Amino acid sequence: MQVEQIKDSEDLERAINEFSDTFARVEGEVGRVIVGMKDVVRRTLSSIFAGGHVLLEGVPGLGKTLLVKSISRTLGLSFRRIQFTPDLMPSDVTGTQVLTEDESGKRSFTFKQGPIFANIVLADEINRATPKTQAALLEAMEERQITVLGETHPLMAPFFVLATQNPVELEGTYPLPEAQLDRFMVKVLVQPPTSAELKEVLSRTTGVSIPEAQPVLGPAEMTKRIAEMKQLVRQVVVADPMQEVLVRMMAALTPGTDFATELTDRYVRFGPGPRGAQAVMMLAKVSAILDSRINLAFEDIKSVILPAIRHRLILNFQAEADNVTADDIIEQVRSAK
C-alpha cells in the first residue's frame, strides 16, 4: 500500500503488516537456501528495504555469494556479479564508449553498459581491486548514477550493492578506503556455521536435490513493493528523546567529545560521521516496522547500531596492539544506560 493511500489508522496498520509480511516471505525464501545466518539475512534485507548497501565480510566458503544470489533471486530483481581482481579496470565496472558501425556504415561511439547496471550488484571480493576501480563504485553507490567520459548514466532502481570481502587473505588486497566503507549501510560479519547448521548444510547441498530460492513477487511488482516499503520506513515516528539518545551515542563514539567514553578516547581515531547516524536511524526504523510499530524505540537503535557503525569507526594503532575492535567500543556504548 502506498503512503498516499493511507487514510486512517487501519490503513497504516495494514501497510505495516504488508511490510512485515513481505519481509518475512523473502526471509523465509532465502532461509530455504541459506542454513542459519538468520541475523545476516535479516540485516541484509533490512538494509535493502532501507535503501542501503551491504558489505559482507567472512572467510571463504561461508556462503556469502550464495546468500547474495539467493536474495536477488528471491526478490526477482536483475542481478550482476563482478569479481574484483587487481587488474579490473573502472570501465569494466561502469562500461565504456565503444566505436560501433551501423548498417549504413556510419561509425559512432555508443555506451556499452557495464555490470553495474543491475538492481543487485554483487561485488565479490571487493578489496582485491585497485583503489581506482573501487572508486568507480563511489558515485554509483551514493548518487545511483555513473559518469563515463563526461556522460552521466542513471542506474536502475532499486540499486543495491552487496559486496563481500575476505578478512584473512590480505596479500594482494587493497583495503577499502574510508570513503568507500562509509557508503555501505551495514557491514555484516558472516560467522561460521554451528555444528547443527553445518549438518543441515551438508544434507541440503550434497543430496540429490539442491534447493533453490524462488521469487516472492514478480520483478515489476517487487520493484513497486520495495519502493512502498522504503516510503513506509520513512513514516516511522522518532520522538525527540530518541533522537537525543542517538546523537549522544554517536558523540560517545567520537573521540574528543563531551560524551566520549574512555575506550573511545583511547582507541578511536575517527568516529562515525552523520552518514552513520542516518544509517542507524533507517535501520532502526525498519526494525520498528518489523515489530509492527510506527514509532522508533530505544531497543531498535540498540539492535542495529553495531552493524551500522562498526565499519565507520577508524581505530588507531594502540587499539590494534591491544587487540581492541570496533565492536568492543560500540558494545560498551550500547550497553550504557
Q: Tell me which residues touch another protein (CB under 8 A).
A: 3, 6-9, 11-13, 235, 237-242, 291-299, 317, 320-321
| C-beta of 101 vs 317, nearer to another protein | 317
The position carrying cell 596492539 is 321
- CB 29 → another protein: shortest distance, Å? 28
- How far is it, in rounded angstroms, from Cα 64 to Cα 230? 25
Classify residue 202 by its DSSP letter.
H
| C-beta of 4 vs 262, nearer to another protein | 4
- How far is it, in rounded angstroms, from Cα 300 to Cα 58? 25
| C-beta of 169 vs 265, nearer to another protein | 169
- CB 25 → another protein: shortest distance, Å? 23
H or E segment to which residue 107 belongs: strand 107-113
- CB 293 → another protein: shortest distance, Å? 6
The answer to whether residues 145 and 93 touch, using CB atoms and an 8 Å cutoff, is: no
- CB 46 → another protein: shortest distance, Å? 18
| C-beta of 191 vs 316, nearer to another protein | 316
- How far is it, in rounded angstroms, from Cα 28 to Cα 24? 6
- CB 11 → another protein: shortest distance, Å? 7
| C-beta of 202 vs 237, nearer to another protein | 237
The position carrying cell 563526461 is 150
Q: Which three cell numbers mark 45?
A: 534485507
| C-beta of 123 vs 233, nearer to another protein | 233
| C-beta of 140 vs 280, nearer to another protein | 280
- CB 294 → another protein: shortest distance, Å? 5
Q: How many CB atoms lie within 10 A of CB 59?
A: 13
- CB 303 → another protein: shortest distance, Å? 12
- Give 164-188 as a DSSP string: EE-SS--TT--PPPHHHHHTEEEEE
Radius of gyration of the chain (CA): 21
Task: Look at residue 59 and give its three-state secondary structure.
Answer: coil
- CB 316 → another protein: shortest distance, Å? 12
Q: Which of 165, 155, 162 is nearest to 129 (CA)?
A: 165
The sign of the torsion formed by the CA atoms of 191, 185, 89, 170 equals negative
| C-beta of 6 vs 201, nearer to another protein | 6
Q: Which of 320, 329, 316 is nearest to 262 (CA)?
A: 329
